[in-house]
């Protein structure tokens, strides 16, 4: 592993932090306060990439000599966004709507060099097909995992995996919120090698 510049993860997510730890890199975290509202007629992949860049760039004035990693995820079900449900009732309703259907998760990733503004952005797509779930199964899951602040209303890194029929994508980490395979490639552009 080689790194000559300090890394910042532009996120307060404990899930993203744990994923980045897998790479054995030294980094700090900071949360970027940005407006995450999609632009009119913006495709989900574009939204995820734009917000990833904005999160990283927003921290550049605070960390002017760093590589800043930004990531954002947009989840869609039948053309409608899957959000962080926020409550037990909303989570149950969202999972009931997803039962037996396929949702698409677009996870943007950005590496931003705050010394000069150079950056690279990419996006991972993951399709998740939910099992046909009974109300009882959904309630049991929600009460055990309490995924109220998770996009889609589940924790794929936990019991949420039991909700799925299949996952189709290049990187299972992307569903949790940080596409490590793409991140490794982006970091290499800036001279940071994991192995």
Q: Which residues are catalytic?
A: 72
Quote the DSSP letter at residue 79.
T
Q: Give the residues across from 125 on adjacent strands.
A: 106
What length does the chain have? 195
Pairwise CA distance, residues 161 & 163, whole Å:
5
Cβ neighbours of residue 187 closer than 8 Å, sequence gap 6 or more:
67, 111, 193, 194
Q: Give the span between the Cα atoms of 51 and 151, in whole angstroms.
A: 15
Q: Which two tokens stand for residue 52?
A: 């990833």
Backbone angles phi, psi at 69, to 5 degrees: -105, 120
């Amino acid at each position: 592993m080689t790194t000559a510049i300090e890394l910042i993860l532009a996120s307060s997510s404990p899930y993203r932090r744990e994923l980045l730890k897998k790479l054995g890199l030294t980094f700090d975290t900071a949360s970027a306060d940005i407006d995450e509202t999609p632009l009119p007629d913006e495709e989900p992949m574009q939204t995820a990439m734009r917000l990833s860049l904005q999160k990283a760039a927003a921290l550049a004035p605070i960390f002017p000599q760093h590589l800043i990693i930004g990531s954002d995820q947009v989840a869609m079900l039948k053309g409608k966004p899957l959000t962080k449900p926020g409550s037990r009732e909303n989570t149950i309703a969202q999972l009931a709507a997803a039962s037996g259907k396929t949702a698409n998760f677009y996870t943007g990733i950005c590496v931003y060099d705050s010394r000069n503004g150079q950056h690279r952005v990419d996006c991972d797509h993951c399709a998740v097909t939910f099992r046909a779930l009974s109300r009882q199964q959904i309630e049991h899951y929600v009460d055990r995992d309490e995924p109220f602040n998770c996009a889609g209303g589940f924790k794929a890194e936990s019991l949420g995996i039991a909700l799925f029929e299949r996952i189709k994508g290049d990187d299972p980490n992307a569903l949790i919120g940080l596409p490590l395979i793409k991140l490794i490639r982006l970091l290499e552009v800036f001279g940071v090698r994991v192995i």
